[in-house]
Amino acid sequence: MKTAAPPTRSSLKTDQLFVNLGPQHPSTHGVLRVGLTIEGEVIVKAEPDIGFLHRGVEKLAEIRTYAQEVVLSDRLDYCSAMTNNLAYCLAVERLIGAQAPPRADALRVIHCELNRIASHLILLGTYGIDIGAFTPFLHAFREREMVLDLFEMSSGARLTYNYIRIGGVMRDASADWAAKAREFLAYFKPRLDDYDELLSYNPIFLDRTKGVGVIPAKKAVSWGLSGPNLRASGVAYDVRKCEPHCGYEKYPFKIVLGHAGDCFDRYHCRVREMREAVKIISAALDGLPEGEVLAKVPKVLKPAPGEAYAHVEGSRGDLGVYVVSDGTASPYRLHVRAPSFVNLAILQELFVGQRIADAIAILGSLDIVLGEVDR
C-alpha cells in the first residue's frame, strides 16, 4: 500500500486574514489605522486610514484673524510646534511685506533647532520601545525635559509655544536663558555618543532595522518624501540649505545623508542631525545680534489681496504654508503642506511583502505625527 507523499511548502495554502493595525495600537504613534491583509505573518496589502484626529485647522483659519492662527499652527506637529509657528509667520510676513529683525531671526533659529532636538529625542526613545528596548526612552526624555525647561523660560509653555509671532518673536532671551542654553548644549553633546552605544549599535537593534523597509532614492523622490526620510535614501535636499531663511546660510552645518535608505538610516539620520543642531545653536548664540525682537506690524492685519507661500525644514520634512488674502482680517484660504501626510502615503507600498513585526519597525522609522497628518 502506497503512502501519500508529505506536503511541500509550495502545496500548502494559507487563508488571507484582514487585521486592523490601530487606531489604538501604541506603535502607530497616534490615532492611525492601517488595514492589513496578511497571509500568515506576511503582509500582502496595506491601506492607511487617516482622519481620526482631524480638527479642521485650515478651515478654522478662515474665521480667525492672522494673529489668532499662530495658536492653531502649534497644534499641527505638536512635537515640533516652533517650526509650525515659523512656517506660518514667514508666509504671512511675505504676504504683508514685513521682515523680522536680525535678533528675532537668530532667536527663531535657536528655538527651532532646540525643538528639532526635542522632536528627534521623542523618535529615539519611542523607536526603541517599538523594537523592544525601554531604557533609551528614559535617557531621551531626560534630555528632552531640559529643552522643555528652556522653552518654559522663554515662552511660558512646554508643548504648544506660540513663541514665534508675525514680525519676530514674543519675548527676548535674557542672558540667564542664553547661559542655561549653553549649559544644556555642553551636557547634551556627549549624550549623543551614549545613544549610539546604548541603542544605535546594539546588535539586536541592528538586526531589526538594517536592510528593513528599504526606500531607494528614486522611489523616495517619486513619493514626495522629505526631511530625514528622504535624506536617509541619499538625496541631499534640506530647505535650510536649498532655500535659506532666518539667516540659516550663516551657520555651519552639513546635510546628513544615509546610504541604504532602510529603517536604520532613517533613525540614525535623526541622531546625527541632533549633532548638527548643536552646531547651529552654538553659532547662533555666539553671534546673537543686539536690537529689537519684533517688527512693527498692525495689531489687526488686513493684507492686500494676494497670495504667499513659505516653507521651512521641519523636524519631519518640508513644511510649507500657503495663504491667500482677500483684503479682510482673516485668510481667504490657508493650506499646510504637511510632511508627515506625504511621508505616510508610501506605507501602502512599503508594507507589502513585509512581516508584521517589521511593519512596526518601518512605521516607527517614518516618524509621523498624526496631528500634522490629519490637521
Decide if 57 contacts 331 (C-beta within 8 A).
Answer: no
SS3 content of the chain, % helix, strand, coil (to 5): 50, 15, 35
Question: Is residue 303 reached through a cis peptide bond, with omega within 30 degrees of 0 on the bond before it?
Answer: no
Q: Domain 56-340 is in which class?
A: mainly alpha
Predicted model pTM: 0.91
Q: What is the structure's pLDDT at 314?
A: 92
- Helix runs in the chain, H state only: 57-60, 69-73, 81-96, 102-131, 135-155, 175-195, 203-209, 217-222, 228-231, 239-242, 263-286, 339-344, 347-350, 356-366, 370-374
Q: Does residue 9 surpass a pLDDT of 60?
A: no
pLDDT at residue 236 tops 80:
yes
Residues contacting 216, CB < 8 A, separation 6+: 233, 261
pLDDT for residue 8: 60
Would the pLDDT of 10 be above 90?
no
Domain boundaries, the chain: 56-340
Dihedrals φ, ψ of 74, to 5°?
-55, -35
C-alpha cell at 373: 497628518
Q: Residue 294 pLDDT more than 60? A: yes
DSSP element (H, E) containing 19: strand 16-21
The pLDDT, as a whole number, for residue 51 is: 87
Given a cut of 80, whether residue 106 has pLDDT beyond it is yes
Cα separation, 293 vs 168, in Å, equals 6
Q: What is the DSSP string of 79-92?
A: TSHHHHHHHHHHHH
Confidence of residue 144 (pLDDT cuts 50, 70, 90): very high
| pLDDT tens for each residue of 13-35 | 678 889 888 787 777 777 888 89
Q: Among 1-15, 125-139, 254-268, where is mean pLDDT lowest?
A: 1-15
